[in-house]
Structure 1
């Protein structure tokens, strides 16, 4: 059992960091769209940016426990992976799915919430896969 927990510890840590980022992201998205009538695509851009820096350092130090000294390279890779997931994948999903839900009678706030949830799941899968295999990959040991 401990072996399974150890094997999946980074996934649990990623989930925790992602939960904090997601709460921050959703809060800002809904404040901007519902209170300030900011268009959903722009609000998504802003909300995801706010959680961005925290996410980098939390994932580097806490999730993947990266000891790489090449901060610039990791930050650049993290930026490319994250921004594509957030600003391309999420924006396309939100812009595509929200109107579908409103067209079938779901009210606008609920349609946005459902769309954002779907977009978030898609970007989380994208992020975890590329963070673990590219951005914060563990260096190969001499025995590999």
Structure 2
């Protein structure tokens, strides 16, 4: 049984790690949002922007090291990954901001509930962006 679990983990390691660290990044995002929105009573879109920035930074380092295991050999390559990662995450961040605005201002859903709803779609977008555009591996790597 242990061997089967280990084999399955090895086979699906990237997806499992992405889900694990994706959940952690989402928790970082929601906690930062809650602190600024609810506890500090910052305007919700500003709180959302801060939470997106915090989650982007957390996610970049965990995705690079633990999910996609990207080892860059030059500063230029590392900067390229960071630039692309932030760029694509800001793209999903725009979706996040628009969703929050629609859910809160037009549908009058609580800000914290809206944040949680929005995160489901953002996680999927971010995985696709990371896998396809940012931490893509050459054929034959990690097979």
Same fold (TM over 0.5): yes
Structure 2 CA distance, aligned partners of 1:8 and 1:94? Answer: 33
Counterpart selection for 2:43 from 36, 39, 44: 39
Structure 1 CA distance, aligned partners of 2:104 and 2:16? Answer: 30
The Cα of 1:51 is off from its aligned counterpart by 2.6
1:77 is the counterpart of 2:76: no
Higher deviation after alignment, 66-75 or 123-132: 66-75
Aligned pairs for 1:1-144 within 5 A: 4-69=8-73, 70-86=77-93, 88-102=94-108, 111-141=110-140
Query: What is the DSSP-based 3-state SS (H/G/I as helix, E as strand, rest coil) of the residue aligned with 1:68?
Result: coil
The Cα of 1:62 is off from its aligned counterpart by 0.2
Kindly indicate whether the alpha-carbon contact (under 8 Å) linking 1:89 and 1:122 is maintained by their aligned counterparts in 2.
Answer: no
The 3 A distance-change label for structure 1 pair 56 and 116 is same
Aligned pair count reads: 134
Structure 1 CA distance, aligned partners of 2:106 and 2:8? Answer: 41
Higher deviation after alignment, 71-80 or 48-57: 48-57
Gaps of 5+ in 2: none
Structure 1 CA distance, aligned partners of 2:72 and 2:21? Answer: 20
The 3 A distance-change label for structure 1 pair 129 and 49 is same
Structure 2 CA distance, aligned partners of 1:57 and 1:76? Answer: 13
What is the Cα-based RMSD across aligned positions, in Å? 2.0
